[in-house]
Homo-oligomer: A and B are copies of this chain.
Amino acid sequence: MTTKIYLPESELPTHWYNVAADMPNPPAPYLGPDGRPVPPEAMLAIFPETLVMQEMSSERWIEIPAPVREALTLWRPSPLYRARRLEQLLKTPAKIYYKNEAVSPAGSHKPNTAVAQAYYNREAGIRRLSTETGAGQWGSSLALAGQMFGLDVRVYMVRVSYEQKPYRRSMMQTWGAEVFASPTDMTESGRKVLAADPDSPGSLGIAISEAVEEAASRPDTNYALGSVLNHVLLHQTIIGLEARRQLELAGDYPDMIFAPCGGGSNFGGLAFPFFADKAAGREVRLVAVEPASCPTLTRGVYAYDFGDTAGLTPMMKMYTLGHDFMPPGIHAGGLRYHGDSALVSQLYHEGLIEATAVAQLETFAAGVMFAQSEGIIPAPESCHAVAAAIRAARECAQSGETKTLLFNLSGHGHFDMAAYDRYLRGELTDYDYPESAIRASLAHLPQVG
């Protein structure tokens, strides 16, 4: 009656899995302002060549460098859990497994790519990384990774989060990063915003502009992104590769897999390695779980759009709600993204993966149920996967089916207790989303070709 399945460090995956190799059609190219595919060289201003190569690669397996593997062993392989207490609570015949990514020092799956990005940048002679962060999960992961590889890290943290979430800020500073409340007066983008509104609360879009501007203007500095891009999803596939091996040790294979989906690295990280099996004919359902209040896959359109609010990034073919769509202030900050990874979007468009949306109250109810049975208090993002898995387990209780379910417990909620507090006090609400709001932002999609 084992609860946790560990892999020895000797079984830490040696290669990442690149889903592009098994997609029926090659990934749609990123487009520049002229509507033509962005050449790799254009990305070199802010990314090292190795990451740009990974971004464009169609190789199935990409080797994980030894120093990255060594860094990952600080917390990996992460444990796979059988959620026996949750199963009992639900009186379900389903088997529920979850991959526990909350064990990383930063508390989520984000450091999996942060250490890889820090390593490749250091190898390229870069001394400094700049990035943005909202709630702080990504910023703290990059702070940790920068510290491990001797890089300075500068984090532009959305001002309202900087003030409301001082503990994530302290975490980044403890790991040696410099953290600035964005907008700052250190960049042109920041100064422009402050000139118009000296009390601007900031936004992720503004913070991205500041971080990219710093990286583009300094040869010793690069930019690092925590989701969306192909190389980020690639680095996260270590989650699914480990999980597949752990389930094999448990003598099991999942019927359904659930992961939260914002920019796509959480979902891609767990699901893509199983997509390889699916492409080879094995039956497995891969379900991306998104917030009902930011329903990119379930209510957006598949079209070229910008990755950021200001329209500075290349255009990516993806499911989008429009780049100026403003999702309501739900607590799953990591899922408040208007678009989605191009890889995830294309697989969804081709009917190879599924998506479902869950409203905020259901996610917190699931999080509390999980905490009361399995102990761990999940991050609000992770609660989305918990909720979807609970739905499936309940269906099994109805139908009597003995399905095997797997979900990504992508992070803990230790820095999100204010959200739980509001939920327990009955202060949280769901957000009703009129179709007209989505149509309005979709009207601003860029014209391509």
Contact mask for chain A residues 397-422; partner B; CB cutoff 8 A; 1 contact, 0 none: 00000000000000000110110110
Q: Whose C-beta in chain B lies nearest to the C-beta of A10?
A: B2
Contact A421 B105 (CB under 8 A): no
A173 to B426, CA, bound (A): 13
Contact A175 B4 (CB under 8 A): no
A171 interface hit (Cβ, 8 Å): yes
Contact mask for chain A residues 102-123; partner B; CB cutoff 8 A; 1 contact, 0 none: 0111110000000000000000
A75 interface hit (Cβ, 8 Å): yes
Known A-B contacts A3-B9, A372-B147; the reply to A424 vs B107 at CB < 8 A is no
Within 8 A of B (CB), among A1-24: 1-4, 6, 8-10
Contact A424 B174 (CB under 8 A): yes
Contact B3 A376 (CB under 8 A): no
A104 to B376, CA, bound (A): 8
Instruction: Pick the residue among B170, B171, B421 that contacts A170 (CB under 8 A).
Output: B421
A73 interface hit (Cβ, 8 Å): yes
Contact A166 B3 (CB under 8 A): no
Within 8 A of B (CB), among A128-152: 144, 147-148
A251 CB, nearest partner CB in chain B, Å: 16
Write out the residue numbers on chain B whose beta carbons fall within 8 Å of the beta carbon of A10: 2
Contact B105 A372 (CB under 8 A): no
A375 interface hit (Cβ, 8 Å): yes
Contact A418 B166 (CB under 8 A): yes
Q: Whose C-beta in chain B lies nearest to the C-beta of A176?
A: B372
A55 interface hit (Cβ, 8 Å): no
Instruction: Pick the residue among B6, B148, B368 that contacts A174 (CB under 8 A).
Output: B368
A15 CB, nearest partner CB in chain B, Å: 19
A377 interface hit (Cβ, 8 Å): yes
Contact B105 A418 (CB under 8 A): no
A104 to B4, CA, bound (A): 13
Contact A170 B417 (CB under 8 A): yes
Known A-B contacts A147-B372, A176-B372; the reply to A414 vs B107 at CB < 8 A is yes
A3 to B77, CA, bound (A): 11
Within 8 A of B (CB), among A167-181: 167-171, 173-176
A354 interface hit (Cβ, 8 Å): no
- Interface residues contributed by chain A, number (CB under 8 Å): 45
A49 interface hit (Cβ, 8 Å): no
Contact B371 A175 (CB under 8 A): yes
Write out the residue numbers on chain B whose beta carbons fall within 8 Å of the beta carbon of A75: 375
A74 interface hit (Cβ, 8 Å): yes
Write out the residue numbers on chain B whose beta carbons fall within 8 Å of the beta carbon of A324: none
A397 CB, nearest partner CB in chain B, Å: 21
Instruction: Pick the residue among B1, B73, B85, B175 that contacts A3 (CB under 8 A).
Output: B73
Interface centre among A4, A8, A175, A418 (most CB of B within 10 A): A4
Instruction: Pick the residue among B166, B176, B368, B421 that contacts A166 (CB under 8 A).
Output: B421
Contact mask for chain A residues 57-76; partner B; CB cutoff 8 A; 1 contact, 0 none: 00000000000001001110
A374 interface hit (Cβ, 8 Å): yes
Contact mask for chain A residues 67-109; partner B; CB cutoff 8 A; 1 contact, 0 none: 0001001110000000001000000000000000001111100
Known A-B contacts A377-B105, A417-B167; the reply to A173 vs B73 at CB < 8 A is no
Within 8 A of B (CB), among A287-333: none
Contact B375 A173 (CB under 8 A): no
Contact A103 B103 (CB under 8 A): yes
Contact mask for chain A residues 412-449; partner B; CB cutoff 8 A; 1 contact, 0 none: 00110110110010000000000000000000000000
Known A-B contacts A376-B105, A377-B105; the reply to A371 vs B424 at CB < 8 A is no
Q: Can you list 11 contacts pairing A with B, beta carbon distance less than 8 Å?
A: A1-B70, A3-B73, A74-B375, A104-B375, A166-B417, A167-B414, A168-B417, A170-B424, A173-B424, A414-B414, A414-B415
Closest 10 pairs (CB-CB, A-B): A105-B375, A167-B417, A414-B414, A170-B421, A170-B417, A3-B73, A6-B6, A74-B375, A170-B420, A105-B376
* A-to-B contact residues, CB < 8 Å: 1-4, 6, 8-10, 70, 73-75, 85, 103-107, 144, 147-148, 166-171, 173-176, 368, 371-372, 374-377, 414-415, 417-418, 420-421, 424
